[in-house]
């Protein structure tokens, strides 16, 4: 009897182990079938990046998982990419806070065989090539062209004469550089428009509020302000109100066309914003990643269209 009991116990143990092993295999197989995409942006406090990442996450399904992380710190962004590598993601989409300092993390992803997609703020490709960092493709808007559109709008509103201020983005950020560069190229062609102040407000509404109040104090006769994103444009509007200046006396132009800015245009508080379509950017990036991982040949650069949103 004891021998029979031992045999039954042994058979039972083998069956249990087989069943457990089967389910472990099934679960691991399911995980292997899931495409994981790490998506890194500078912040989730800015509506622009909220719209972008929400659109990217909306592409998720039983076969696709989008993992969103954010940091406005250059070192932390590199660490997040390293974490994505450790997690074994299949691809990484990155909107770098700095166009240069993100390159070492991209090189690590390259070595791990993980394709990196550059979204929105462009990585310094000359520097990347020198360091042998590879970007699968870039998707974003032409920020230089958007800056030109903002400049032309202000020229038209001022009848080619007046004093203008610029609220810049983060120093070293490609989007910030291109938006200001496009704006300045257009403005310089108009002799009677003078740029009296240009300061970085780091894409931040409160900083823009504080800085533009100081600009207004030093230049009470200012006619227009180009804010290189909508958060700063809304900060400039708050500054104008705080100073007791009539809103219709200063032309305010933003960039990104986030929902709050579009409402401000409709109400007449904001004169215009350049629509960059972050939702389209986010969802298209994921669609292209899926094509890339499926082995399709892609272009090296994709552009989402811009337009001037005005009342």
Provide the CA 72 distance to its chain's centre, in angstroms: 11
Question: How would residue 172 be classed by pLDDT, with cut points 50, 70 and 90?
Answer: confident
pLDDT score of 44 more than 90: yes
CATH 3.40.50.2300 for the 34-140+279-304 domain, yes or no:
yes
pLDDT tens per residue, range 45-61: 988 999 999 999 999 99
Q: What is the token pair recorded at 147?
A: 């800056």
Give the 3-state secondary structure of residue 130. Answer: helix
Q: Point out the least confidently predicted range of 5-19, 217-231, 278-292.
A: 5-19
pLDDT score of 248 more than 50: yes
Are 41 and 56 contacting, i.e. CB atoms less than 8 angstroms apart?
no
Are 299 and 143 contacting, i.e. CB atoms less than 8 angstroms apart?
no
Maximum average pLDDT range among 20-29, 207-216, 274-283: 207-216
Q: Looking at the domain that runs over 143-275, which CATH code has it been given?
A: 3.40.50.2300
In this predicted structure, what is the pLDDT of residue 33? 82
pLDDT score of 39 more than 50: yes
Are 272 and 305 contacting, i.e. CB atoms less than 8 angstroms apart?
no
Higher local confidence (pLDDT), 303 or 77: 77
The pair phi, psi for residue 162, each rounded to 5°, is 155, 180
Are 225 and 193 contacting, i.e. CB atoms less than 8 angstroms apart?
no
**Planar angle of CA 128, 130, 136, nearest 5 degrees:** 35
Measured CA to CA, the distance from residue 272 to residue 165 in angstroms comes to 15
pLDDT score of 206 more than 70: yes
Q: Point out the least confidently predicted range of 284-288, 289-293, 305-309.
A: 305-309
Q: Residue ranges per domain, the chain?
A: 34-140+279-304, 143-275
Mean pLDDT computed over every residue of the chain: 91
Average pLDDT, stretch 120-140? 95
Measured CA to CA, the distance from residue 149 to residue 183 in angstroms comes to 7
Asked if the domains 34-140+279-304 and 143-275 are classified in one and the same CATH topology, the answer is yes
- CB neighbour list of residue 91: distance below 8 Å, 6 or more residues apart: 35, 37, 38, 114, 115, 116, 117, 136, 289, 292, 293
pLDDT score of 260 more than 70: yes
Are 116 and 285 contacting, i.e. CB atoms less than 8 angstroms apart?
no
């Amino acid at each position: 009897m004891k021998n029979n009991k031992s045999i039954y116990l042994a058979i039972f143990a083998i069956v249990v182990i087989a069943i457990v092993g089967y389910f472990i295999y099934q679960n691991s197989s399911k995980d292997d079938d899931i495409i994981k995409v790490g998506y890194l942006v500078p912040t989730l406090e800015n509506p622009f990046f909220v719209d972008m990442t929400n659109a990217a996450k909306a592409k998720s399904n039983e076969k696709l998982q989008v993992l969103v992380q954010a940091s406005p710190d250059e070192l932390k962004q590199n660490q997040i990419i390293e974490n994505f590598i450790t997690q074994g993601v299949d691809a990484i989409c990155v909107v770098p806070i700095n166009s240069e300092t993100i390159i070492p993390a991209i090189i690590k992803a390259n070595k791990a065989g993980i394709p990196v997609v550059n979204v929105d703020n462009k990585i310094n490709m000359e520097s990347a090539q020198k360091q042998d960092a590879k970007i699968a493709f870039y998707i974003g808007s032409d920020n230089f062209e958007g800056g030109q559109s903002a400049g032309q709008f202000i020229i038209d509103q001022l009848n080619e004469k007046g004093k203008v201020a610029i609220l810049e983005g983060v120093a070293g950020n490609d989007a910030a550089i291109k938006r200001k560069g496009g704006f300045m190229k257009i403005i310089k062609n108009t002799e009677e428009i003078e740029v009296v102040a240009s300061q970085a407000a780091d894409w931040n509404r409160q900083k823009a509020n504080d800085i533009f109040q100081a600009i207004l104090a030093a230049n009470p006769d200012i006619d227009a302000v180009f804010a290189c994103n909508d958060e700063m444009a809304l900060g400039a509007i708050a500054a104008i109100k705080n100073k007791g200046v009539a809103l219709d006396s200063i032309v305010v132009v933003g960039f990104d066309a986030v929902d709050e800015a579009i409402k401000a245009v409709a109400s007449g508080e904001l004169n215009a914003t350049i629509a960059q379509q972050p939702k389209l950017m986010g969802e298209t990036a994921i669609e292209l990643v899926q094509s890339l991982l499926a082995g399709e040949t892609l272009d090296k650069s994709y552009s989402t269209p811009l337009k001037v949103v005005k009342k």
